Amino acid sequence: MGYVKTGILMAAMTALFLAMGYLIGGSAGALIAFVVAAAMNLYAWWNSDKAVLRMHNARPVDAYTAPELQQIVMELARNADLPPPAVYVIDSDQPNAFATGRNPDNAAVAVSTGLMQRLSRDEVAAVVAHELAHIKNYDTLIMTVTATFAGAIAMLANFAMFFRGGDRRANPIAMIAMMILAPMAAGLVQMAVSRSREYEADRIGAEICGHPLWLADALGKIQTYAARIDNDTAERNPASAHMFIINPLHAHARDKLFSTHPATENRIAALEKLAQSMGQTGRARPATAPSGGAQPGPWG
């Protein structure tokens, strides 16, 4: 159902783009706007991994600098039948993670120091499995396609008055409405696609790690911490929020129209239902609390 819903939403985005071109009436102008938007998004897609990792000051790690994290990624990549992605760590107290890259051969998984410090090994493994599911599903490609259409629609809306400015039959109120509503509709479809991909990544990620409840526990903890711990880099770059396993911003607590993520409680409920169908009831092993009172994961 996740793939069907994504296909329907992307078809809606395509239809919206075509409708915009028809309403403007200038096929040449629509074609130019689409080519420019496609070129911009193609460049962003080709360089997305480097740009996003640099944006969040992610540093590469390997078997020497982060052996247990590297081992988790390697084992789960084998389970997912994927080439091992590059592994990065983000210096952020907020537990979170994201995947990036244009395809499985050019992918990276980034986790925050807060994730490794506050979650157990099982929960970290489940989060990594979720991100590998995004890579396996080519979700970065899907989101790039929707971003291309959203960008093209926004450009068409901005050019609408220019294309039709010499047409006295054009209704200025209709033009203004189109300039406002069309990009908003495109953004809503783009966010809906993002939410749909999160549900699918939860399901496949649970299959990769073999324990849906590990991921359910991880999501609950990340949501709790993310609600009270700022991610300053994400706040400065809100356009990257959809990439994280849990929204790193503090604006969306539930399934809202403008949210890039489904409600965490809905995701947990779906994972618990999946675990029940697999005959599993045990929760993830808790992290061992050291004598200092903090609660790091298995890396400290």
Residue 47, both tokens: 């360089």
| Cα distances (angstroms) measured from residue 156 to each of 184, 189, 231 | 13, 17, 34
What separation in angstroms does the CA of 245 have from each of 33, 144, 261, 282? 32, 17, 8, 22
CB atoms within 10 A of CB 68: 14
Q: Is 131 marked active-site?
A: yes
Beta strands in the chain (DSSP E): 59-61, 86-90, 97-101, 107-112
- d(Cα 147, Cα 144) in Å, to the nearest integer? 5
β-pair type (86-90, 107-112): parallel
Distance CA 75, CA 62 (A): 14
What six digits make up the tokens of 22?
A: 């028809």
> Is 101 in a helix, a strand, or coil?
strand
Q: Whose structure tokens read 């969306």?
A: 252
Which DSSP symbol is given to 298?
A: T
Give the bridge partners for 100, in sequence order: 108
- Residue 193's CB is within 10 A of a number of other CB atoms, namely 27
Q: Which of 131, 207, 265, 272 is catalytic?
A: 131
For 81: left if phi > 0, alpha if psi spans -120 to 50, otherwise beta; the answer is left
Catalytic residues: 131
